[in-house]
Structure 1
Amino acid sequence: MKICVVALGKIGLPLAVQFATKGHEVIGTDINEKVVDLVNAGVEPFPGEAELDMKLKQVVESGNLRATTDTTAAVAESEAVVVVVPLVVDEQYQPDFGPMEAATRAIARGLKPGTLVCYETTTPLGATRNRYQPLLEEISGLKVGRDFYLCHSPERVFTGRVFADLRKYPKLVGGVDEASAEKAVEFYQAVLDFDPRPDLARPNGVWDLGSAEAAELAKLAETTYRDVNIGLANQFARFAEKLGVDIYQVIEAANSQPFSHIHTPGPAVGGHCIPVYPRFYLWGDPEATIVRAARELNEGQPAYMVGLLDGLLGGLEDKRVVVLGASYRGGGVKETAFSGVFPMVAALREAGAEALVHDPLYADEELTALGLAPYHYGEPVEGAILHTDHAEYRDVSAAQFPGIKAIVDGRNVTKPELWTGVTRKVFGRG
């Protein structure tokens, strides 16, 4: 097949490479000329994706993958189009459909009869049928089901391990009609490989969910579940503090029973997915009180951590406080999308504190560009909040923070013996 992948970001480029490794001719498109040039040179535009560097070089050298900024021309010579354009949201989680609609218009101008168009970007419910389909039909003059095929197939991968996740998880598809679903199943069976999953009720592979809406909802459901579960864990942790109970011991005990899967509490929920997709879900189901309550509780966690430190220090006015970790996720992940560091710093400043931030993955100028004041070990502070579970912080000690009086550990990772003489509070431990 000839396949066009629209948007060569952290998901789109690995997808394009995956398709090319299966022997298909792939054209990747992106509005960023620098990304296009790097891909055509066989150089990954962003580091950190396992196997991407080697695989990209191979498929570019073999001629199976090339890149261009001309989406319309690429679509015109393709049999299948996979769309992975980011749906950017603002601070209130309102999406900007502009980039996606611009890409859809470019696709429509090159669309020819018989082409399959698959949207993989996570989207509010109904967008594939009610927003993208009309644009495609109006501009192309073609009709879905008669002239071309349309489906939603949500990406379900983690950056850093995309190739492994593509093999591990079933590929969910939902067509806007039966013919589109059949084409989508046939397409993904030809471009993906799947690991055996004896734990699943049916074989791992391409799963047709029956409609585009079902496929959209499946992605929103799995991410919203995580947000609600984390919200529940955070609620338990707050209550455990009042009871003088260790919530981590409680969760371990509860999860020893096979029907309990309580997640780990923490100081914030960040990233492109978990804070955002429950809001997408709520647009379609505004009466979902459980979803709304969990989202609001999780959004309040950074301020709650600041409140804990305020209580330990007897106030934060004119105090120097360091937040440990700017990234929303530990494990060496360098990403600040919707990171809790931002509302945490805002809450500290509102309380009158001087808020500083340390993260081993970020240079001073990078933190400054994010609106954060850099901190270095050895500089005096009176308080600290551990926000990110970086491996480095598991062995951090009071000696590295001259004058420190209290620390709030939001991740339950610090070692008590390294904080002698300092008031140490672990979130969820009474």
Structure 2
Amino acid sequence: MNICVVALGKIGLPLAVQFADKGHKVIGADVNEKVVELVNAGTEPFPGEYDLDVKLKKAVDAGLLTATTDTAAAVAQSEAVVVVVPLFVDAEGTPDFGWMDSATQAIAKGLKPGTLVSYETTLPVGTTRTRWAPMLERGSGLTAGKDFHLVFSPERVLTGRVFADLRRYPKLVGGIDEASTQRGVEFYEQVLDFDERTDLPQPNGVWDLGTAEASELAKLAETTYRDVNIGLANQFARFADKNDIDVKKVIEACNSQPYSHIHQPGIAVGGHCIPIYPRMYLWNDPEATVVRSAREANAAMPEYAVDLLAAAYGDLKDVNVLVLGAAYRGGVKETAFSGVFPTVEALKARGAVPYVSDPMYTDEELAAHGLTPHQGETVTAAILQADHAEYRELAASDLPDVKVLVDGRRTTDPARWEGVRRVVIGG
């Protein structure tokens, strides 16, 4: 097939490479000229995605992957179009469709009869049918479900391990009509590989969810579940702190029974997915009180970690505090909705002087994010925000003036912190 992938970001580019790796001819469309230039040179535009550099160069050298800024022209040459353009939500959870609207209008200009259009960007329920279908119809003069096929098939991968996750998890597909769904299933069966899984209710592979709405809800539901689960774990942890209980042992004990799957508490829930998609679900379902309460519980955790520091250290006014980790999770160079930002703000609100360090970021990069990099200043307190592997080896001798460490991820080794008051969330 000839396939167009719209948006060559941290999900879109690995997808394009995956399709090319299966022997299909792929055109990647992106508005960023620098990204297009790098891709055409066979150079990954961002670091950290396992095996992307090798697979990308192979695909480009084989003539199976090219990139362009002309989305309409790329679509006109393609039998299938996969859309992975970012969708943002504001603090209230209202979606900003600006980038996706622009991309959809460009797709419509190049759309021809018989083409499959698949949206993979996570969406509020109903968006594929009520927003994208009419927009594509207006711009192309074609009728959705009659002249072209339209499906929603959510991405279910994590950055850093996209190729492995594409094999690991079933691909969910739902269309605006039965024919679209069937065309979507056939497409993904041709472009993906799947590991054998025996622990699923159905065989691994492409799953027909029947409708675009069911597929949209599946993505929101699985991510919202994680946020609610973490919110519950965080509430357990705060109760455990008040009652001198080690919540880690409690959770391990609970999860020894097959019906309990409690996640781990922590200082923050960050990234492109878990903090955002529950808000998107609430936009669809504002009466979902459980979802709203969990989101509020998780959003309060950075300030709670600072409360723990103040309780152990005392007045934080004018105290130099080092926040360890700017990334939203260990091993990933990404600050999207990272807990570092509310942690720094909570420290400033108490009069502390916060500094930030992260093994994945230069001082210049931290400063560009509005953070003050630690450049050897004496610090007497620290908060671990990201669970980077390097922090497992961190010791009191590395920060000799620190009196209190709040480990927000239970990453540090207690034996390395003798002589320092080490506090963990949930006791």
Normalised by the length of structure 1, the TM-score is 0.97
Give the aligned residue type for 1:425.
V
Measure how far apart 1:93 and its partner are: 4.2
CA distance in 2, matches of 1:418, 1:190: 52
CA shift, 1:372, in A, is 0.7
How far did 1:252 drift? 0.6
Given residue 165 of structure 1, which amino acid in structure 2 is its aligned partner?
A: D
Q: Tell me what 1:380 maps to.
A: 378
1:87 corresponds to: 87
Output the aligned Cα RMSD. 1.2
Q: Contact 1:308/1:408 (CA < 8 Å) preserved in 2? A: yes
CA contact (8 A) 1:8 1:35 kept: yes
* Residues 16-66 of structure 1: CA deviation (Å, up to 9, x unaligned): 111111111111100011111111111111121112111111111111111
Paired letter, 2:173:
V
- Once the two structures are superposed, residues 370-408 of structure 1 have per-residue CA deviations (whole angstroms, 9 ceiling, x without a partner) of 1111114x5321211111111221222222224322111
TM-score (norm 2): 0.98
Q: How does 1:260-409 map to 2 (within 5 A)?
A: 260-330=260-330, 332-376=331-375, 379-409=377-407
Contact 1:173 1:208 in 2 (8 A): yes
For residue 183 of structure 2, what is the aligned residue in structure 1? 183
Q: How much has 1:426 moved relative to structure 2?
A: 1.3
Range with bigger deviation, 300-309 or 311-320: 311-320
SS at match of 2:274: coil
In structure 2, C-alpha distance between the alignment counterparts of 1:138 and 1:344, rounded to whole Å = 46
What whole-Å deviation, never above 9, does each CA across 1:210-238 have from its counterpart, x for those lacking one? 11010000010111011111111111111
1:175 counterpart letter in structure 2: G
Matches within 5 A, 1:30-429: 30-330=30-330, 332-376=331-375, 379-429=377-427
Cα offset for 1:90? Answer: 3.8
For the residue of structure 2 that corresponds to 1:145, the secondary structure is coil
Contact kept, 8 Å, 2:94 with 2:283, in 1: the verdict is no
- Give the unaligned 5+ runs of structure 1: none
Q: Does the 8 Å contact 1:125/1:216 carry over to 2?
A: yes
Query: What percent identity do the matched residue pairs reach?
Result: 69
Aligned partner of residue 381 in structure 1, secondary structure: coil
What is the rounded CA distance, in whole Å, between the counterparts of 2:49 and 2:380 in structure 1? 38
Report the Cα distance in structure 1 between the residues aligned to 2:241 and 2:261, rounded to whole angstroms. 21
Counterpart of 1:200, as a letter, is L
What is the identity, as a one-letter code, of the residue corresponding to 1:354? Answer: V
| DSSP 3-state at the match of 2:222 | helix
Find the aligned partners of 1:62 and 1:405 in 2 and give their Cα distance.
58
Q: Do 1:223 and 1:278's aligned partners in 2 also have CA atoms closer than 8 Å? A: yes
Q: What do the CA deviations read for 1:159-213 (whole angstroms, capped 9, x no partner)?
A: 1111111111111000011111011011111111111111112111111101101
Once residues 400 and 210 of structure 1 are traced to their aligned partners in structure 2, the CA distance between those partners, rounded to angstroms, is 56
Distance 1:190 1:399 in 2: 55
Alignment-mate amino acid for residue 292 of structure 2 = R
Q: For 1:14 and 1:415, how far apart are their aligned partners in 2?
A: 36
Equivalent residues of 1:379, 1:402 under 8 A apart: no
> How many residue pairs end up in the alignment?
427
* Structure-1 separation of matches of 2:237 and 2:157: 29
Q: Aligned to 1:213, what secondary structure does the other structure show?
A: helix
Contact 1:181 1:208 (8 Å CA) reproduced: yes
Residue 91 of structure 1 and its aligned partner are, at CA, apart by 4.5
